[in-house]
Structure 1
Amino acid sequence: MKSYNVAVVGATGMVGQKMLQVLEEMKFPVNNLYPMASARSKGKTVKFGDKEYVVEELCDEAFDKDIDIALFSAGGSTSERFAPAAAKRGVIVIDNSSAWRMDPEVPLVVPEVNPEDLKRHKNIIANPNCSTIQAMVALKPIYDKYGIDRIVYSTYQAVSGSGVKGYKDLEEGVKGAENQFYPHPIAYNCLPHIDDFLDNGYTKEEMKMVNETHKIMHDDNIRVTATTVRVPVYYGHSESINVETKKPFEIEDVKALFKDAPGCVLRDDPANNVYPLAREAEGTNDVYIGRIRRDFSIDNGINFWCVADNIRKGAAANAVQIAFALIEEGLI
């Protein structure tokens, strides 16, 4: 297999570090690696394989080198500033921020769901929101077989989704320290508040799930609502998903769909206390699905529980899988 020159932007951050780890674990064919970060991280070192690499400062000229792919995880404003500079120089940017997700010219991709969208990329590809990614992996087989009229998302999201500051609020909070990042203590608590509140009463995180579902599925007719909650868990987003399908189904057929779906792991034996757990998902790249049951309150209703590691499948692993999909589709 041909090897590629890869830049990781935000290489010293939580997701950037995980991108390096996943690139290595998945044996992505890296020729030269270029870790980049802000000026305050310039000169630090990161490990990849059996080597240590010096982090260089992110600037336009950093992409003058022969770079094939750049994995960005450095925040929306950084991506808005530097992704076009990289793309202009022929680098394919896979961006983990929210900056490009709803741009109609930018594909928003979950490789198990809509890899065909990569064919229209213009050197910038968006990684969806962490909570959306795992939901899409689970919902795609249902959508393809039965169609979907309505989705109700209720999420229980780990503090690592807020980055180091959120992680530390929980870590220190269980020791009795006051919260420094969240508006209320997260230790022994649940906060129905992720990102800013909007005029419609929803948060930005909730509207991300609504809008990204429509874009990834290419179906604006699906009625979608969401409530997103931050919970005192370090890694692993959990989601209760309620689906109303267009066609009738048998619940055993739905379970069989999940069992065979790419990227899904079925954990559905409640009689023996087998169902998806955040602790089980941590450190893996799969989406775990269980508690599958009929919703008797509506026609054609399904309830299920869905769990994934938000830093891996919800961010780093999905980005690396996009890079692999580019190779498989002959797009790089």
Structure 2
Amino acid sequence: MTLTSLPQRHLLPSETPIGLLDADGRLIDGSELTMPGDDVLLDLHRRMVIGRRFDTQATALTKQGRLAVYPSSRGQEACEVGAVVALDAQDWLFPTYRDSVALVTRGVDPVQTLTLLQGGWHLGYDPYELRVAPQCTPLATNTLHAVGVAHAARYKGEDSVALVLLGDGATSEGDTHEALNFAGVWQTPTVFLVQNNGYAISVPMSKQNAAPSLAHKGIGYGIPSLLIDGNDPAAVYSAVRQAVETARAGGGPTLIEAVTYRIEAHTNADDASRYRDSGEVAAWLGRDPLDRLEAYLIGRGLLDDARREAVAAEAEDFAASVRKGMNADVAVRPQSLFDHVYAERTAALREQAAMLEAELAGEEA
């Protein structure tokens, strides 16, 4: 395949992130993106409020010892919610460990969403039923999975698209380059959404990338790319929806870099003050994606106090259900240690299982 045979789409992203709403919630004139309808914007707002409340609740559960670890996505709600809402039911989502809000938005039960982070041996939900792949902990491995599933879907005559979420650090991994290469060669219906939140744990962008932007990395693979404002929910939805529709129509993959920011530490085990200062965080708080969308909706007369209170109450009810589910004692069956290791237990496993059974029987006696 040569560059001349590629679909006639612009490969070069813009020099600066494009958006639809500025930091104060005012409409940006002349944007190449299409403003979503009012119903979509109100749905984005509702889901972002619920998603943020879920995120703060999960953080609290970590402090209470109910979760082993939790990577907060506060500040990145526009990316996670906007991208997922842009999908259709038959599409696949390939999330990372930081994308719990995306899973909840997709309809995964919140307690099942947190099973992996709680330390359970199972990821908690059925990927095939929900079309949500397991949350990816190793960086970038989900990129290859997304390309493979998208390629297979086309062979099977399905019209599904695979959306893969990844961070800025994942773009430095070999798996991402292989995934982009095959997606470009095979023209798979795959959308790559890079949530560039400024840091790969403690490594800033300046030490990760020498290109003008991460979106520019698509050029070498013949993949059209977009550089967008990742704190603009309308822009994220519009860009992802456009890419999904293009992929579904046979137009191939798109790489989208969404510039956003991780407000909280990498996880509860991280001390972010060691590599960034409070002034940087404060500046990004002024670009809050939820505040931005609320300002626009209020200015348009689409969001009043009654609706805001109703959404907030719904979010509180959701958080309460998460607390109830996570605080329930789990029935532990010690013998499950030996399940799913082999199709048939080996002699060594049978011996170990018998030893455990005898020990448990002795404790009960």
Length-normalised TM-score, structure 2: 0.24
Length-normalised TM-score, structure 1: 0.25
Whose strand fraction is larger, Structure 1's or Structure 2's? Answer: 1
Relative contact order, CA 8 A, sep 6+: which one is greater? 2
